[in-house]
A and B are shown apart, each in its own frame.
Chain A
Amino acid sequence: MALSLSNFLYSSLLLLLPFGLIADAATVTFDWNVTWVRANPDGKFERPTMGINNQWPLPLLNITKGDNVIININNQLGNQSTSFHFHGLFMNGTTEMDGPVGATQCGIPPGSSFTYNFTIDQPGTYWYHAHQRGQYPDGLRGPLLVNDLESPYLGQYDEEVLLTLSDWYHHEMPELIAKFISVANPTGAEPVPNSALINDTQNVTVPVQPGRTYLFRMVNMGAFASQYFWIEGHTMTIVEVDGVYTEPAEASMIYLTAAQRYSFLLTTKNETSSNFAFVASMDHDLFDKVPKGLNSNTTGWLVYDSNVERPIPALLDAFDAFDDFNLVPQDGQKLLLNVNYIMTLDMKMKTLGDGANYASFNDVTYVRPKVPTLYTALSTGASATDVTVYGGNTDAFVLAKDEVIEIVLNNDDPGKHPFHLHGHNFQAVLRSDKDTGFYDSMNHTAFPAVPMRRDTFWVKPDGHVVLRFKSDNPGVWLFHCHIEWHVNSGLVATIIEAPLEMQKTTSIPSDHWRVCRDSQTPYAGNAAGNTVDLLDLTGENKSPAPLPAGFTAKGIVALVFSIISALLGMVVISWYGAAPIGTSELQSAEKRIAEAGTEVK
């Protein structure tokens, strides 16, 4: 089965490529019914997964750059709403097609239909996934490859190979989320995956010919786990990350966080005497506890000769992965200077008043607003530039058009986090070492002249990163940690970029409004749904209140009462002790003494 699946993907690539070469800016249409499908990808546990047109894994989307893509979704899940986000695509001019529920659309309720219609004008490796409450790890994710006829590396490789990585859970997300965000999990320990997959299966084989160069395109479609990846006996030459071509960079091991993509060239050996293993290994640093029996290493093979045995990969003492900060974009885009606006985000995890653990930016935990942020921006007229209308719990920032924006992300948590920005890629100008604390603009390593660019970048424990981008894409874009657990516990910020421009250029198709009506979601007004007084946010969705600090009223009352009862008790004891013996007791005492007198002889 493994064999045929990778072959299927591999051969589908070959089949579609010529079509891409022939056509010229075509429109490709897909009709997708989202359905439940039972599957057992790791061979250990059969479970329901979310599939498309009764198939799981999800289809590969193979699009030529310049094409217009139309996807008609019909939600046949029956018990959950859904939506789709096309990770890494800028959606320039089509912010309403970006996908996150609560930001750019209402959730598509069961039975409803919704159409995504956008044009892809960027090359590279991407993926698509559900963007509704923690849904995609239940299977609703798939790869998206863009064929670039003008690629600078065209001609340097003979064939393409797609490898997707993923972690995999045996239990469904709603159940796991309920356990994760609960009073019984005050430290916020994320559920550890049960296994890992390559190409949504295990024991993948990639048949290769000797003396050829392949372009490997890799996507980490996981919910949580970052993965180290290496191929025994071969070097990888990185040529693209997250849709950005890079100068060739040699690496023996790469590190993919959830949602990141890498493309690399691999030249095969000239003889076919042996096969070689490649390994994807989940990063244990993220796991609270590593359960016994967890196999975090998934192995596959480059098969030169299918008759030769497939070797077991060697164990490594340490992981030494290529640092993506050192990549240089091939287009040589220089460091953006003259920053117009700095967004400082201090992230932290803490326990709130309901006893569960939540994440926050600047002490605000993201909670979905009553009205999707995009619809607020479109329906609030001039007030759309006032960040208040977007609510107190959306971590909202309003940006002006065509400015240089700097995001300073301070990680006040001892965990690694991969951060993703919708609608853009960004220049990663600084990633500090771990335990260096908050960013100090006066004292830091010099920024590179041509900084690396991508759309998902990780920050080290208790460290910081600095990112820069140009706000040239009016729309509502989320900035969030791509660990799905943290998305659910509120590690999300909302960027409203050039709202007045948006009002001029964005038009929402009628099926988007219909989906809001179908799900009884308000679609006009501020974050509380108030269309009359836009600055009045009464009734908005809020996160749980913080834990009471110290003594509350009931604590003081309890303490005072306890002290009073103790004092009363001591008064009664003293009274009893000081009082003379009662008459009746004395009488019986006399009697006992008399009896004793007669008994003792």
Chain B
Amino acid sequence: MVNVFSVPVFFICFRESLETSIIVSVLLAFLKQTLGPEREPRVYKRLVRQVWWGIIIGIAISLCVGCGMIGAFYGLGKNHFSGTEDIWEGTFGLLAALIITAMGAALLRVSKLQDKWRVKLAQALEAKDNKKRSAGDRFKRWAEKYAMFLLPFITVLREGLEAVVFIGGVGLATPASAFPLAVMCGIGAGCLVGYLVYRGGNVAKLQLFLIISTCFLYLVAAGLFSKAVWFLENNTWNHVVGGDAAETGAGPGSYDIRQSVWHINFGSPLLNGGGGWGVFNSILGWQNSATYGSVLAYNLYWVAVICGFLAMRYNEAKGHWPLMKPKAKRISESDAASDTSSQQGEVIAETYEPKKVSTDFDAARSSARQLDA
């Protein structure tokens, strides 16, 4: 079995594609449900295309970089990457965690306000580049416009590079014949899970699907954040010991005893591809050797997320962030708006089905014309 199917390679491919496909399928399911081909086909198609472009370009780049690295390794006979591997992992992990955090919150938020979001998106896609706006504002608009490209792109890039590096690591001891089947099965299994998530998303109630998938995304992001800190600490330790500490296995010497919160000699997600522990590590950030840094990072991440959501809810209810003064209202507009909204506001407050609110652009335009007139 070992010669045609490498179990470590399978697990590596499985867990990398699992993370990626879950994120992608959540995005696609969300797009289908909120924009759907029946509602705003043009916008829907554009965004779906963005997602797929992100995936394809991410795969392409990670393949190129990966092949380059493996070629350099075999050609130059030295793993130049290993010295900085942990820094790459740490930085990418941080970046990915931040992006997933922002996207997750945004997804949840906008699902409650379908109209506004669709409007906003339509605006963003149509808007001409206005040079009068500040740089920060322009970046924000650009990011909004291409968010559906960025998130899958960064995710696939990171997962792809990780997979190539890990496979390069275990690949030395594995015959070439063991690769193809293991790689295909691993990626296939990950894609299958993603597909199931996508189908599940399409039949479930949108809000429930979003809540569950957002919880999951945040678990992954918390794990990523904790791992990023862990990788940076591991990099420091490698420099102290002089060489790759993981070469000593998972036993004493592979970690800094002074930073250790817990350490068990088995269950390492790094050795030999990691096996099931690797999947555990991908989804929840499990480490067999936790440090003060990684544990604190994990907990502080959740604290920040909790505070962030509480603050968002407060802002939605009160119109300003907690601890800040409410914005001054402009008299004329607010009177008119509050008149029209007070009736509808009551309707909305009773039910939380956003679909019940009038959704037509036409209706909006007509009410505006009424105001003008």
Contact = CB atoms under 8 A, between A and B. Distances in A.
A187 to B, nearest CB: 5
A487 B263 CA distance: 29
Nearest to A551: B262
Interface residues of A, number: 56
Contacts of B312: 576
Interface in B115-155: 115-116, 119-120, 122-123
B252 A576 contact: no
Given A551-B264, A573-B108, A600-B361, A594 B367 contact: yes
B348 to A, nearest CB: 6
B318 interface: yes
B352 interface: yes
Given A580-B348, A582-B316, A587 B261 contact: no
Interface of A: 183-187, 350-351, 353-355, 357, 547-548, 550-552, 554-556, 558-559, 561-562, 565-566, 568-570, 572-594, 596-600
7 contacts: A351-B253, A547-B257, A559-B290, A568-B302, A579-B352, A592-B119, A600-B365
B162 to A, nearest CB: 23
B257 A183 contact: yes
Nearest to B314: A582
A183 B252 contact: no
Interface in B334-350: 337-338, 340-341, 344-345, 348-349
A552 B262 CA distance: 7
Task: Rank and list the top 5 A-B pairs by shortest CB-CB distance, nearest first.
Answer: A555-B262, A186-B253, A584-B319, A582-B316, A351-B252
Given A184-B241, A570-B219, A586-B113, 9 more contacts: A186-B254, A354-B257, A572-B309, A573-B309, A577-B108, A592-B119, A596-B364, A597-B361, A599-B123
B222 interface: yes
A582 B354 CA distance: 12
A557 to B, nearest CB: 9
Contacts, number: 177
Given A186-B241, A572-B305, A597-B367, A591 B333 contact: yes
A558 B293 CA distance: 11
B214 interface: yes
Nearest to B123: A596
B156 interface: no
A596 B122 contact: yes
A586 B337 CA distance: 11
Given A562-B298, A584-B318, A598 B253 contact: no
A562 B310 CA distance: 20
A590 B344 contact: yes
Contacts of A354: 257
Contacts of B251: 351
Given A186-B253, A351-B252, A554-B261, A565 B207 contact: no
Contacts of A548: 263
Interface of B: 108, 111-113, 115-116, 119-120, 122-123, 207, 210-211, 214-215, 218-219, 222, 240-242, 248, 251-254, 256-258, 261-264, 284, 290, 295, 298-299, 302-303, 305-306, 309-310, 312-313, 315-320, 333, 337-338, 340-341, 344-345, 348-349, 352, 354, 361, 364-365, 367-368, 371
Contact of A566 (B219, B295, B371): B219
Contacts of B219: 566, 570
B365 A597 contact: yes
Given A558-B262, A594-B368, A583 B317 contact: yes
A185 B364 CA distance: 72
A582 B337 contact: no
A572 B310 contact: yes
Contacts of B215: 570, 573-574
Contact of A590 (B261, B303, B340): B340
A584 B316 contact: yes
Contacts of A570: 215, 218-219
A394 B42 CA distance: 82
B358 to A, nearest CB: 9
Contact of B302 (A566, A576, A584, A585): A566
B256 A183 contact: yes
A183 B255 CA distance: 10
Given A353-B257, A566-B219, A586-B341, A592 B348 contact: no
Nearest to B344: A590
Contacts of B258: 183, 355
Given A550-B264, A589-B116, A593-B115, A577 B210 contact: yes
A582 B318 contact: yes
A581 B348 contact: yes
A352 to B, nearest CB: 8
Contacts of A558: 261-262, 290, 295
A86 to B, nearest CB: 38
B211 A187 contact: no
Contacts of A552: 262
A584 B312 CA distance: 12
A597 B368 contact: yes
A587 B207 CA distance: 21
Counting chain B CB atoms within 10 Å of each CB, the highest count among A183, A186, A547, A548 belongs to A186
B345 A586 contact: yes
A598 B368 contact: yes
B306 A568 contact: yes
A338 B32 CA distance: 89
Contacts of A600: 122, 361, 365
A579 B302 CA distance: 20
B299 A562 contact: yes
B120 A592 contact: yes
Contacts of A350: 252
Nearest to B239: A184
Contact of A582 (B207, B313, B365): B313
Contacts of B318: 582, 584
